[in-house]
Structure 1
């Protein structure tokens, strides 16, 4: 059996070693040979699926290069309920074994899919809670006069990605949803040099 091991932290200044240590311990405990394992490591938000290592993992799944996937915790796949469930359902439909090591859950079968829906729903709620706390913090900082907004010249998404999605035939609204930006911003990105 060929394993794809997916690891994700939310930002580049975070360390993946804790997840990797637990995953290695699980692999060793289950007798998975090191030469049957490929690691996919992202340092990116879980708000969407546009992450380099995750996209490589998806290609490996599509090409039949992995038979099983292990994650430290299910929310490492996604903090978006729809994305997480669709991904997990696709993998299970392809016959892959999917395991969340710390939650000790094997997601194959109907019970596994139901548990995945619950856990991914909780992950999405956590993400929304983080956004609400961030908004409250910004509002408090504005009241104290110490918040000046996002630095000029920074972007919420990559204009190049908007152009790639347009080339695939997506509409402005679909691109906006995929990138988490407004339609107006999509239009600005598409018409930029």
Structure 2
């Protein structure tokens, strides 16, 4: 009896470790966020790709040391890329966001783009993200509260129109939402 119990404990430990490893691998993927999926089921209007509503104010320090707030983007369409500084999917999305949004709208003074590290990494880890991805748009530090205020997560795009309303909130990995965000951005100009 004791041998069967010890065998059961060993199998249980292996299963638990396997589940933990599996969840860890899913935690930073390009797939839809299971938490977002649950929220969609609870309140589908809350997580639509096109959300209207006042964008919450924020004031954060950028990687370069300046203070950046929502008011700095008055009368501009603001694209916000919420990221995790060591998230592989975010590192994959960043260069695409750079070329398809930041570079494409670089000459348009009515458009701004920022990255917000919601994993609250160190300045060095966020600088590492910037160096690895080659992005040139500003990165803001310690943005977990902002992500919470915007009811979003990492590897997501949010677009705020010139009136300060959220007009797009991505529900899937940023790479998959670039085209939809661009469409809303163009409609907001």
| Interval containing the TM-score (normalised by the shorter chain) | under 0.3
TM-score normalised by length of structure 2 = 0.26
Point out which structure has higher relative CO (alpha carbons under 8 A, 6+ apart).
Answer: 2
TM-score normalised by length of structure 1 = 0.26
Higher fraction of helix? 1
